[in-house]
Structure 1
Amino acid sequence: MSKTSHEKDNYQWNSTFSFLMAMIGAAVGLGNIWRFSYVLYSNGGGAFFIPYVVAILIMGIPFLILEYGLGATFKNSLSNILKKIRPQLEVIGWITAFLVFLVLTYYVVIMGWDMIYLVLSLFKGWGTNPDAYFMTNIVVGSNNLQGITSFVIPTLIATILIWVLLWYISHKALDKGISKVVNILIPLLFIMMAIIVIYAFTLPGMWTGVTALLNPDWSLLLYINVWLAAFGQIIFSLSMGQAIAVTYASYLPEKSKLVDNVLVVVLSNSSFEIFTAFGVFSILGFMSLTSGLPIHDIATSGTGLLFVVFPEIFNVMGDMAYIIAPIFFLCVFFAGITSALAFLEPMTLAVSRKFRLPRVRSVTILCIFGALMSLVYTTASGNYILTIADGFINQFGIILVVILQSLIFGWSYGVEKLLPVLNEYSTVKVGKTWVFVIKYLLPIFLSVMWIIGMIDLFKTQSSLDIILQLIIALIFVVIPLVLTILPSREDI
């Protein structure tokens, strides 16, 4: 086998099933477990399903169809696709891939926390006060930079271990690495989450939680922030516009049913997060019953739900917690690892293609670089920097690159060109309505979201927060600029 064909095999799915598992793995991440249930609860309960479904139909599905079409047509990295459309646009591809890579650098730290809690769950090692344990042993320090020189050793070790695991899986050819992992982990993830949710339905107080979750507040549908929350959830839940779908779709074999595959991924992702939300709130209802606290005092989002509220619930669950808690933290780990692999892949493909590096070398360089960047989040000031970085990258960076991609592919490239490749083998066809959504609806909706997000972001910021955000902005512009300017070895 020639070196060229060997490299091609390194970047090709061995089946459509592997692609679907990888895409579902990219979509189903920590956010589905810790974010969606709270977004649903705090934005109108059952009424939130209306903006949620609208966001899927007019943004999630159309944009993923665009990304699949681009990947299947060009069989290349996003930066190279943009370069072919217009050389000046290459930098936007690098910014997009690098933004997702920046997310990965702190995402692995949260996975590190989960790895620690997976071990602790075997003997309820967080003690009788999980909140104090989390703040003292995991998130050490306060909302400043005073602790930036001292490492939190358990977090540091766990983070390095996860980078090693990511390298071990990703440096192999696609069918020997990512394919094998997602084909096992995604079905397992769905089975384990089903076990947790079905058990949650048997708990006393379960109906209290489900009723609180679904209780519809129709008046909230008149507020733009509820609609923006739905669109924001879909962007991050489906990893829209983050070069992941373009990259994964570029590895597809010929004659793939592109539109059908989009629908499978979107349906799987939404089913998982809605199903999980029922489980989470059934368990919160049980906590409400046993603690006497109302649901709104317990319900929370993010790391507080995973590493404080759930350990508190496991503490009052009795011996059954020794089975449910490890399964729960293992679910979080599986969801995290499949998403982390997806976050790494756009930069891997872009670096490999531009500099003609073998996959193993690209992955090794990126994992070393990423691990070094992750170190800042393993310090006593890590959680403070992580919160600022996450808010800024999500609110400012990712929505902005999705807007730019809508405009570039809708207008500069001409999205109509993708219709033949999208419709050729797909059972479900797309046409003028889809083109209209990409060219007009998406850029308008997303621009409104971005402006409101920017106002919210800077309204409550301290001067130190703004300085850190400017540093992050500088990093995600300067490095992609350097990568764009460096001479390409593709044509050598």
Structure 2
Amino acid sequence: MKQRDQWGTRLGFILAAVGSAIGMGNIWRFPYMVYENGGGAFLIPYFVAVFTAGIPLLILEFGVGQRHAGATPVTFRSLNKRWGWIGWWQLLVCFVIASYYVVIIAWSFSYFTLSFNLGWGEDTSAFFFKEYLHLSDGPFSMGGIQWQILAPLAMVWLTCWGVLICGVKKGIETANKFFMPALFVMVILIMARAVTMPGAVDGLSWLFKPDFSALGNIKVWAAAFGQVFFSLSIGFGIMITYSSYLSGESDINNNAFMTAFINCGFSMLAGIMIFSVLGYMAAQKGVPIQDVVSSGVGLAFVTIPQAINFMPGASFIGVLFFLSLLFAGVSSMISICEACIAGILEGFKISRKAATTLFCGLGFVVSLVYATGAGLYVLDIVDHFINTYAVLLGGLIEVVLLSWFFDLESIREHVNRTSDFLVGQWWSFCLKFFTTFVVAYMMVMKCVGDITTPYEGYPSSALGAYGWAVVAVLPVLAIVLSKCDLLGRKE
């Protein structure tokens, strides 16, 4: 029997885990979350969430992944033979996320090439939505494949295929040893330039000025936990898969703390970088900072390009910014793909080359939907429903099953056995009560919100087709796959 892949070094695993956690959302979502939810005061619930949910969940996933040495279907089936379908569910969630996340990376690739001559022009909004995306009138008006998106989309898939086909040590580890240091260097370079420009201090003041009254709002606390949950790639199989390649002597607790802290540190750097740039743009335009603040794709592909236009050395800054987005996106994309590929090659006993080619080929075909004129609409709806009802629900089921219906104490003993420092009962308490309650609360509140107010005003038919239907079909497919995979049929 062929020996299972393992990480070559501890540093390689840490950089890969950090590469998964640090994605484009750290750059375009975290700064806005801080700004919108109490400024500097938001850091209090944020770090509470890191210590009571983020790190405990990382330790849990690192522990069970290393202990059972398999992708999520194998891991959950090892815990309980009736739980295998949960692992397949998480892999299907990863597949859906990969199918649209790759398109945003493709946009970043396009903007990286545009940065050399500031090809987005003066009206960055019109360029992005009309000239680049050719955004249609609605989510059902596809408008055909946009060829300027298709080419970078194919290149990103080919890059991921090339890395993943080389395996864990030669492919994923080697790639992240390049991507992560380069990403930090680029962000620090942009930040160092941005903080010296006129208006940067005003931008940082808006970002970090504390509004302690926000701490009395439970929605602010839910936002903090949501940011930590999604930022650390927990709850949908990635960290379980990555930790399954660890040796039996690996320091689980230390690895979890390091991954969480490096991710937090990068988020803070990104926040300083973004709001320094926004502060400078506001000063140049003579408008309040709140008039230029935005989040998500609008920040990355409309606001930031507009800000870059005002900056000295604009082309160089643009190249660095979009290359950093590209590196952050690809490193996360690789981890999402690997979670699925590991499940396929273990469940159906095929080679890594076959599993990688099958996954990337199918993923490329599905991702073409997001390269149409309606792609942004479809992406927005699918992303919202997947993150709200698939990722959160999958994470909640995982925490409840492992905390309440499995011997959690045995996992704590396992992670403590090889770690430099031990985790105590606080870890079990956080998982059983604190994390379970918060994740359940977030999901219920989001569900109530979607029922009472249609998401972003989309027609109910679009929300049903691209949202509810996609979420509903995943557990059904997961059960089918759990009955078909070879390991499950042997039991």
- Scaled by the length of structure 1, what TM-score is found? 0.96
For residues 136 and 237 of structure 1, what CA distance do their matches in structure 2 show?
31
**TM-fit CA distance, 1:147:** 3.0
Is the CA contact (8 Å cut-off) linking 1:141 and 1:147 kept in structure 2? no
The answer to whether 1:387 aligns with 2:380 is yes
For 1:72, the equivalent position in structure 2 comes to: 66
Alignment partner of 1:216 is 2:202: no
Match of 1:431 in 2: 424
Matched residue, 1:310: 304
The counterpart of 2:443, out of the listed 450, 458, 479, is: 450
In the alignment, does 2:107 pair up with 1:113?
Answer: yes
Partner of 2:237: 243
Contact 2:106 2:153 in 1 (8 A): yes
Letter in 2 for 1:482: V
Match of 2:461 in 1: 464
- Distance in 2 between residues matched to 1:143 and 1:440, nearest whole Å: 46
Query: In the alignment, is residue 329 of structure 1 matched against residue 326 of structure 2?
Result: no
Residue 162 of structure 1 corresponds to 156
SS at match of 1:386: helix
Report the CA distance shift for 1:448/1:474 in structure 2 as closer, same or farther (over 3 A): closer
SS of equivalent residue, structure 1 residue 306: helix
Could you tell me which residue of structure 2 aligns to residue 361 of structure 1?
354
On the 8 A contact 1:392/1:457 being kept in 2, the answer is: no
Task: Give the 3 Å change call, closer, same or farther, for CA 488–149 of structure 1 in structure 2.
Answer: farther
- Aligned partner of 1:485 in structure 2 is 483
Structure 1, unaligned runs of 5 or more = none
Q: How does 1:86-125 map to 2 (within 5 A)?
A: 86-125=80-119
Q: Give the structure 1 partner of residue 474 of structure 2.
A: 476
Tell me the distance in 2 between the aligned counterparts of 1:108 and 1:138: 16
Report the Cα offset of residue 413 of structure 1.
1.7
Match of 1:44 among 38, 56, 64: 38
Structure 1 residue 234 corresponds to structure 2 residue 210 = no
Partner of 1:175: helix, strand, or coil? helix
- 1:399-456 superposed Cα distances (whole Å, 9 cap, x missing partner): 1111100111112221111122211221221122211211222111111111001112
Is 1:401 aligned to residue 394 of structure 2? yes
**Match of residue 192 from structure 2:** 198
Q: Is the 8 A contact 1:197 1:275 kept in 2?
A: yes
Aligned pair partner of 1:14 in 1, 8, 11: 8
Give the stretch that moved more between structures: 471-480 or 348-357. 471-480
| Aligned residue identity for 1:481 | I
Q: 1:274 aligns with which of 268, 277, 283?
A: 268
8 Å Cα contact 1:71/1:249 also seen in 2: yes
Counterpart CA distance in 1 for 2:252 and 2:482 is 30
Q: 1:212 to 1:483 in 2, by over 3 A?
A: same
CA distance in 2, matches of 1:143, 1:460: 21
Name the counterpart of 2:340. Answer: 347
Task: Name the aligned partner's letter for residue 452 of structure 2.
Answer: K
Q: Letter of the 2:346 partner, please give it.
A: R
Question: Which residue number corresponds to residue 421 of structure 1?
Answer: 414
Matched positions, count: 485
Structure 1 residues 128-143: aligned runs within 5 Å: 128-142=122-136
- Report how far residue 149 of structure 1 moved: 4.8
Q: Give SS of 2:169's match.
A: coil
Query: Is 474-483 or 338-347 further displaced after alignment?
Result: 474-483
Q: Does 1:338 align with 2:335?
A: no
Distance in 1, matches of 2:472 and 2:184, equals: 39
Instruction: Kindly provide the CA deviation profile for residues 247-266 of structure 1, in whole angstroms up to 9, marking residues without a partner as x.
Output: 10110123111100111111
- Structure 1: how far apart are the matches of 2:417 and 2:140? 58
Moved more, 22-31 or 438-447: 438-447
Q: Provide Cα deviations, 1:202-230, integer angstroms capped at 9, x if missing partner.
A: 11111110001111111111111111110
Letter in 2 for 1:209: G
Cα distance in 2, alignment partners of residues 476 and 375 from structure 1? 20
8 Å contact kept, 2:39–2:206: yes
Q: Once the 2 structures are TM-superposed, how far is the Cα of residue 146 of structure 1 from its aligned partner?
A: 4.2
Instruction: Indicate conservation of the 8 Å contact 1:100/1:242, yes or no.
Output: yes
Aligned with 1:176: secondary structure? helix
Contact 2:385–2:468 under 8 Å retained in 1 = no
The amino acid that maps onto 1:46 is G
Distance 1:426 1:89 in 2: 28
TM-score by length of 2: 0.96
- Corresponding position: 1:61 with 2:59: no
Tell me how far apart the structure 2 counterparts of residues 41 and 18 of structure 1 sit (CA, whole Å): 34
Stretch deviating more after TM superposition (227-236 or 92-101): 92-101
Q: 1:309-338: CA deviations, max 9, x gaps?
A: 1111111113x1121110110000000010
Secondary structure of the residue that 1:429 maps to in structure 2?
Answer: coil
**SS of structure 2 residue aligned to 1:148:** coil
Q: Which residue of 2 aligns with 1:412?
A: 405
Q: Percent identity?
A: 33
1:487 CA drift (Å): 4.3
- Contact persistence 1:208–1:285 (CA under 8 A): yes
Structure 1 SS opposite 2:149? helix
Whole-Å separation in 1 of the counterparts to 2:55 and 2:20: 15
**Aligned-pair distance for 1:276?**
1.1
The secondary structure found in structure 1 opposite 2:328 is: helix
Partner of 2:169: 175
Runs of 5+ in structure 2 lacking a partner? none
Contact between 1:395 and 1:457, CA under 8 Å: does it hold in 2?
no
In the alignment, which of 269, 290, 311 is matched to residue 284 of structure 2? Answer: 290
Distance 2:130 2:82 in 1: 49
Residue from 365, 379, 382 that aligns with 1:372: 365
CA distance in 1, matches of 2:369, 2:183: 30
Q: Post-superposition shift, 1:477?
A: 2.5
CA distance in 1, matches of 2:229, 2:94: 13
Q: How far 1:396 sits from its partner (Å)? A: 1.2
Residue among 174, 183, 190 paired with 1:189: 183
1:120 maps to a residue whose letter is L
Deviations 1:103-161 (A, max 9, x none): 11100000000000000000000011111000112332245234325111111121111
Q: Equivalent residue of 2:170, what SS?
A: coil
Contact 2:39/2:210 (CA < 8 Å) preserved in 1? Answer: yes
